[in-house]
Every structure is written in C-alpha cells, then in structure tokens.
Structure 1
Amino acid sequence: MLDVARESSDWFAQVLTVDNTGAISREAVEIQRREYHGIYGDEAGDALIEQEYFCSFEAAGRSVAVLWGLFLTGIGTVFQWLDPIAAALGDPDLKAQVMEALEDNPQYLAYVLMGISAITIAARLRSVGKA
C-alpha cells in the first residue's frame, strides 16, 4: 500500500519512525523489545520492533518465522482467488474439485495441517534457540 501511495499523485505517503516523532521514548521501545524477546525470541522480537517502531520490514526477510507467516498468507490469498484463477485457466470447477478431493480423502488435509504445524514449531524453536 505504501508503494502505491508513493507512486501515485492522488495519494499522500509519509513514513515516520519513533525517532522522527518522539511519540514514544527509546526507553519504552527497549522495554517492549525485552518483552518481545521473551515472547518471540530475539530474532522475531527485533523484527517486530523494527517493523512497528522504525517502519522497517527488512528484518522480516531474515526471520524464518516471519517468512513462514508470509508464505501461509500467500497460500490463503491463492485459495481466496481460486475461482477467478480457475476460470482464467479454463477450469471453473477447480474449487469444487479440490473440495471434493478433500472430502473423499480427509487425510490429505490432516497431512497438510501436520506439515504446517511442524514447520511452524521448527521456526519457533529456531527463534527460541537464538534467544
């Protein structure tokens, strides 16, 4: 959204960090950082601080947990757009076919969910191990 706003003359875009505004003290940010480290581990905690208080999304690219979350969001978006994608590919019944396959073989859904859980746990343990 920010990139769209920056490129359009119809929008106004401004990015201000806590350093720019002074709205939150550095001490308060460091207190929040310690809390995030305790909850999410050092890597993910630092990434959240950089994102929330310093408007930086670069750290997210170094966090396995954050990247995994973005991947899952992408998968959800694909499923949301499954009908238009299927229609464009000439198979308007694709969503129904996927649903039927899952109904006929519920173990596939269980395998997918177990895989998602295993990767999520591994990413979280990696973050905790770095703490």
Structure 2
Amino acid sequence: MMPVVLGERGGQRLVADLARCPDVLTVLGAKPHRVRYVLRLARQVLAIGCQVTILGDVFGGSVPAGCRRAAEMSDVDHSAAPGIVVCGPLSRAAGSAALRLRASGGPVPVVLGDVPASRWSVWLKAPRPTAPALPRAG
C-alpha cells in the first residue's frame, strides 16, 4: 500500500492508494503548481517508507532528501516498488518503458508537464485569491 493525500478541499481530503494506480499518474497544470504538488507528493511517499526516484531535472534543482536519481526510465529498478518515479514528458520509447515498469509491479511513474491525461490524473488550478478582510466599523 502507498496511501497519499492527493488533494484537499473544504476541510475534506482525497486519500488514494497509489500502489493501485494502473499505469501512470499525470500531473497537469501550470509549472509552478505542478512542481509544488509533486514535491509534496514525493515527501509523503518518502514519509511512509516508500521510494522516490527522480528522472532528469523536473524540479529545477533540489529534490527532497532520500530521493534516488536515474538517467533513463529503463535505468529504474523494477524491484523498487512500492514507490514512484517522477519525470517530465516522455518520448514514445520512454513512455513504453514506463508502462512496462508499472505492469511488472514496479514503481508508479508520475509524469508532470504538458502531457495528455492518463487514467489517473491530477489537474491543478491556481489557488483562488482570497478577498481582503473588510475593516470593521468602530
């Protein structure tokens, strides 16, 4: 099992078992929101004792302590489950490798970027601005 909070709204949380994700999890939306979301997701996965592997420079620099790095999807250890593999948009060959990785029971590929939605997708919107507090009448 790999239970994580995928979202919160109105005091309620959406918790899902990422280990049940059938293929890839796509994270869509503006780049700053995607990066913040996936960093938070990676920290959750690490906190529950699962592994996080990062492909390339999807975070633009630093990554949470405890993450592994891999150069290619084909370099990811298939026995590294449960866990996630965080990456940007994939070439056709890398996408096929990601699907094979998941089909073999390996980590869940988490793809962020301007990519087509998968069966499991998170769509991020900019947070709504809050209205400024009105001054109280004296």
TM-score class, shorter-chain normalisation, is under 0.3
Q: Is the strand fraction higher in 1 or 2?
A: 2
TM-score, scaled relative to structure 1:
0.22
TM-score, scaled relative to structure 2:
0.21
Q: Which structure has the larger Rg?
A: 1
Which structure has more RCO (C-alpha within 8 Å, separation ≥ 6)?
A: 2
